[in-house]
Structure 1
Amino acid sequence: MTQIPSALILRKELQELMRDPVEGFSAGLADDSDLYEWDVTVMGPPDTYYEGGLFRARLSFPRDYPDKPPVLRFKSEMYHPNVYPNGLVCISILHAPGEDENGYEDASERWNPVQNIRTVMLSVISMMSSPNDESPANVDAAKEWRDNRDSFRRRVSQVVRRSQEE
């Protein structure tokens, strides 16, 4: 039985992450029979509002990976300007390659096939450290981030506590 190239690439990336883990997240297959669905745990980065949190997420890969980006959706509650209320992460590296039809991003900021799981997860950790409120996925979180940091911090503290109880 021949495997499609994306399966070979994903297997290799998973093996590399097991051999050389990256601080701040862990990843593994959601089901041993499916290389295209991964469970991920993102640790809230130190010195951020998310510190101490253990946020569960699902990383779903298209069959034409790495030509197309994966989709990352938090399963744990997440309150962040760049995460939709349904948990879907909205950052440039996860946007389809090419020009942005809305003109918000340069093509160089978007997905390209040299990206990998490691760069995606490091971008998510960076996102948690430095929210981008310029083009928010969660408008309420972005407004609170801009206008009332104390309220934002309190709300995120509740989310962090709940993530620790999951």
Structure 2
Amino acid sequence: MGSEGSGPVVVPRNFRLLEELERGEKGIGDGTVSYGMDDADDIYMRSWTGTIIGPPHTVHEGRIYQLKLFCDTDYPDKPPTVRFQARVNMTCVNPETGVVDPSRFPMLGNWQREHTMEDILISLKKEMSTPQNRRLHQPHEGNDDQRVDQKGVARCVIM
């Protein structure tokens, strides 16, 4: 048929990112993960924010996690850098920096050009439900004065 010898069509980086942007803006899947660009003026489309709503029946339930995804100019040939904005306890996340460790997160470690930011977020959400992560004690979110501390005693703030 004449296509012998020609490899697969490689979608240029900017077309690929525009596709991802359009998909992110439409809303994806069940709405528990989303993503979009940080700076609409960045012509290289490098900096993105992702959101994951913690899966039910885990310690992550009811939490909303913000992540930064940085797609350098070699994306999608190389994976983006992925970092949780807030502290999270997961086996694949560096507890000091919040960076998802490619050596502990197969999607980044065995990156394939076909993978997308959406795939990463969905995969991280699945990771939250795995036996090694679903019950890990999580750091407190923010500085909510009304929060009940670990002993079950409400803290009072006297103004």
TM over 0.5: yes
Whether contact under 8 Å (2:35, 2:51) holds in the other structure is: yes
Name the structure 1 match of 2:108.
Answer: 94
Higher helix share: 1
The change in CA–CA distance for 1:163 and 1:41 in structure 2 (over 3 A counts) is: farther
Amino acid at match of 2:21: L
Name the structure 1 match of 2:41.
Answer: 33
Runs of 4+ residues over 2 Å off in structure 1: none
The TM-score, its normalising length taken from structure 1, stands at 0.68
Amino acid at match of 2:77: D
Please report how far the alpha carbon of residue 7 of structure 1 lies from its aligned counterpart in structure 2 after TM superposition: 2.1
Seq. identity, %: 29
Structure 2, unpaired ranges of 5+: 1-10, 145-159
Please report how far the alpha carbon of residue 74 of structure 1 lies from its aligned counterpart in structure 2 after TM superposition: 0.4
In the alignment of these two chains, the number of paired residues is 127
The TM-score, its normalising length taken from structure 2, stands at 0.70
Whether contact under 8 Å (2:50, 2:121) holds in the other structure is: no
Whether contact under 8 Å (2:79, 2:111) holds in the other structure is: yes
**SS in structure 1 at match of 2:47:** strand
Aligned partners of 2:142 and 2:56: how far apart in 1?
A: 15
Structure ID, larger Rg: 2
Name the structure 1 match of 2:127.
Answer: 127
Structure 1, unpaired ranges of 5+: 96-109, 134-144
Whether contact under 8 Å (2:38, 2:49) holds in the other structure is: yes
The change in CA–CA distance for 1:131 and 1:61 in structure 2 (over 3 A counts) is: farther
What's the C-alpha RMSD, in Å, of the aligned pairs?
2.4
2:15 pairs with 1:8: yes
Whether contact under 8 Å (2:34, 2:118) holds in the other structure is: no
